[in-house]
Amino acid sequence: MRPYRHALHAGNQADVFKHAVLTLLLDALLATRSEPLVYLESHAGAGVYDLTHGRAFASAEQARGIGRLWTLSEALPELGSYLGAIAALNPDGRVARYPGSPQLARHRLRVCDRLVLFELQEAEASTLQMELGVDPRVSIHLGDGFAGVPELLPPSPAQGLVLIDPPYVSATDFMRVPSCLATAHQRWPAGVYAVWYPRLAGRYSESDRLLRGLQQTFGELLVAELAGLQAAADSGLQGAGVALMNPPSGFDRRLKGLLPRLLRVLRSATGPPGAGPPAGVRTGEVHAAGGQDPGTGWRVEWRRRAS
Ligand SMILES: C[S@@+](CC[C@H](N)C(=O)[O-])C[C@H]1O[C@@H](n2cnc3c(N)ncnc32)[C@H](O)[C@@H]1O
């Protein structure tokens, strides 16, 4: 199996959705907690990605994701910290460098906070080290994040957020997520956890099983999903979700406010050069199973373990 390269997908619609939820979550956590906070990430990636390779956007996927959001950013004022992190990397206003989740967190966190990042691939980890390693708040571990993150829990101080964001190129990722979170929950039941997962054509049952595993462990989780996303045809990606355990109070309402407008922006026909004809890009079917608003392709719902 070829190693997964997030650079090919950075800034696509599913990535934008994940990063919008992540930055909104960090905003919400920081608004309610004055104590130092620890951000842990099991699958960090390279931290910063070159989106251009000499063109406006390296792929149509990226033009339809961050390209559209950047063009229509005034429609989503609550994403100020996400967009601010992109602006900080691109002082001339053209999105050539795109921040991955560790860089978004680093941009948002305070001087007193810490970031602990795991990445398995040496090349990605060394770019991560180059981009973020100079920051004394950041520690980077080359290794398996599924095993490494739970071992560090609870963090000290026991305030923070854990992001689990595997590539899901191997079916084992769908199984390792719930088992990693079961160990994490044993060690730190009150931690705030976010898990990104894909909706892949013909494989919805794998993400459903993952969610059931999290539900079993935590008792309840908040699920936010977008359907009908446009991605590279060979990826099979039709939609994506973020499952949140122990989110801040009222975060479901914030997501319900954001998702329909985010989806509208991502589906807009306008956009920068490169957002044009769908070469190699397809729209997935709207996921209609029990959603908040399956007709328009988004949902935010609490899932609770039957008692
Ligand atoms: C989806 S990308 C991460 C993207 C990043 N979280 C972001 O949003 O910018 C997944 C990353 O996980 C890495 N990876 C794969 N298996 C891993 C494992 N078991 N432990 C840590 N990293 C892993 C891959 O090399 C890849 O860089």
Distance 269 CA to ligand 1 centre (A): 31
Closest residue by CA, ligand 1 atom 13? 43
CA distances from 11 to 15, 61, 65 (A): 5, 8, 6
What dotted CATH number matches 6-304?
Answer: 3.40.50.150
CB of 61 closer than 6 A to ligand 1?
Answer: no
Domains of the chain, residue spans: 6-304
Mean pLDDT by 10 residues, the chain (307 residues): 81 97 98 94 97 75 94 96 98 95 98 98 97 97 98 96 97 97 98 97 95 97 95 87 98 97 89 41 34 67 88
* Tokens at 245, concatenated: 């355990």
CB of 119 closer than 6 A to ligand 1?
Answer: yes
Hunting for tokens 């095993």 — which residue is that? Answer: 147
CB of 9 closer than 6 A to ligand 1?
Answer: no
Please tell me the pTM assigned to this model.
Answer: 0.92
CB of 173 closer than 6 A to ligand 1?
Answer: no
CB of 120 closer than 6 A to ligand 1?
Answer: yes
CB of 142 closer than 6 A to ligand 1?
Answer: no
Distance 119 CA to ligand 1 centre (A): 6
Distance 65 CA to ligand 1 centre (A): 20
CB of 228 closer than 6 A to ligand 1?
Answer: no
C-alpha to C-alpha distance for 86 and 94, rounded to whole angstroms: 10
Distance 218 CA to ligand 1 centre (A): 24
C-alpha to C-alpha distance for 53 and 63, rounded to whole angstroms: 13
Closest residue by CA, ligand 1 atom 17? 120
| Cβ neighbour number for residue 141 with a 10 Å cutoff | 17
Atom of ligand 1 nearest to the CA of 166: 10
Radius of gyration over every alpha carbon of the chain, rounded to an integer in angstroms: 18
* Most ligand 1 atoms within 8 A of CB, residue of 61, 115, 119, 122 to mutate: 119
Contacts of 138 (CB under 8 A, 6+ apart): 102, 106, 114, 115, 117, 132
Distance 69 CA to ligand 1 centre (A): 24
Which residues are identified as catalytic? 165
- b/e string for 232-255 if b means 16 or more Cβ within 10 A? beebebbbbbbbbbbbbeebbebb
